[in-house]
Amino acid sequence: MNSTEQLWVVFSLGTGLYAIPTTEVGALVRCGEVTPVPGAQSDIRGVVNQRGRVLPLIDLRVRLGLKSHHTETEELIETLRQREQDHKNWINELEASVRESREFKLTTNPHQCAFGRWYDAFRTDNLMLASLLKRFDEPHKAIHALGERVISMVKKGDVSGAQECIAHTRNTTLGVLIALFAQARDAMRESEREIAIVMHKRNSVFAVVVDAIESVERLSSDIQQIPAIGGAEAVSSVAGFARRLKHEGLVLLLDVQPPEDGLERGEFVEQELLAS
């Protein structure tokens, strides 16, 4: 069939766009709870229950040699957890420097701490997360401004006032910042909800997980082949690439093969279940 006659489901994985023919697609659903399968190959996320049918779930990112969305999300969450602890440690060290009459050596520049450098460089298409991150700016800058204020007060001999200022900020601004870190981690977990595409191929039914569905559209009939580069498994999944007709850019066309029979039809997976 000419690709201009064929409809394709176009979806995103990381920063790239990919497509599979609609003739292989049975359903597009939110990816629900995934049950891991011990001993499964690395690109098998596990199995999912789709309307009473237990289906193997392929992580297309991993199959194509990319980092899984779940791993990326968990790394971001851990980064925020560490940066939250940094600011707890920062204010503890400020307090200790006043109490012990020694120099405070941590940065008072909000753009130079580890979180500040991450915050200034981080970009996201998630509007809810982007809006939430904007709320970090004021309390984060206020925390670091505290350092300058406390150092100035100590130089003037107002040690008691400096300690009161630290205690007040710990109970107010730092608390706001900690709450924002928790909300950001929750937002990142919520954004992890990927889309599962249920596929029918070679008399098999399975699901693949993608970041987001972009569109269902026709592509250029001029399908180009991919040069033999990169990992063999990733290249074997790519049938070629085509130009989008109504949008700018190219789309990689995938030939997604079902999991090995052992996973799909093994005794631990019942393909048909009674609907609960």
Which residues of the chain are modeled with pLDDT < 50?
Answer: 1-2, 231-232, 262, 264-276
Superfamily of domain 7-66+194-263 in the CATH hierarchy: CheA-289, Domain 4 (2.40.50.180)
Per-domain boundaries in the chain = 7-66+194-263, 70-191
* CATH class of the domain at 70-191: mainly alpha
Structure tokens at 20: 């599979």
pLDDT score, position 272 = 33
Kindly report, residue by residue over 13-43, the tens digit of the pLDDT.
988 999 999 999 999 998 878 888 898 888 9
Alpha carbon distances (Å) from 151 to 92, 139, 167, 211? 14, 19, 15, 48
Structure tokens at 92: 């503890």
Instruction: Report the 10 Å Cβ neighbour count for 157.
Output: 9
Rounded CA separation 275/273 (Å): 6
- pTM over cut 0.75: no
Phi and psi at residue 110, to the nearest 5°: -65, -15
pLDDT score, position 227 = 66
pLDDT score, position 275 = 32
Cα 215-218-221 angle, rounded to 5 deg: 145
**Run of H or E including 28:** strand 25-30
